[in-house]
Amino acid sequence: MLYEQTVGKLQGMKLFGMLEALDEQRRQARSADLGFEDRLALLVEHQWIWKENRSLATRLQHARLKIQACVEDIDYRHPRGLQRSVIESLATSEWVRYHQHCIITGPTGLGKSISAAPSATKPAVTATACVTGPSQSSCAN
């Protein structure tokens, strides 16, 4: 009966990641060998990862990117004049940290969208938290 009450309370607190981890621990015999603190740490870690993954999915959904791409997907062999160093510097997201804008222009078929997608995805993935106060602005990764 205690397990059902715990499940109900976890659902009520919307700790669905922890609930998944608890079910996983109950199915695995080796988790019984772990101490209380270790099992609790695994539950908390699973909840943390679950929440971070949901947050990332939400940020990517709100970004409404037409293409899901990463820097590794870009083909530099195609003769369109893309420079690896420029694309990689955009992908570091330093331009976001310094509140700068990035405009990519060029003729049709140049690869603007595929070049811009990793630069837009990276800030959502790294989830740079910027706090702006009345007189100062600071960012922390």
Encoded tokens for 69: 């791409």
Encoded tokens for 84: 């690896």
pTM of the model: 0.57
- Per-residue confidence (pLDDT) for residue 124, from 0 to 100: 58
Encoded tokens for 44: 């908390």
Who has greater pLDDT, 127 or 123? 123
Highest mean pLDDT among 90-94, 115-119, 125-129: 90-94
pLDDT in tens, 22-31: 999 999 989 8
Confidence of residue 136 (pLDDT cuts 50, 70, 90): very low
Encoded tokens for 60: 């990517």
Which residues contact residue 10 at a Cβ distance below 8 angstroms, ignoring those fewer than 6 apart? Answer: 16, 18, 19, 22
C-alpha distances (whole Å) from 72 to each of 35, 48, 69, 95, 107 are 41, 27, 8, 20, 23
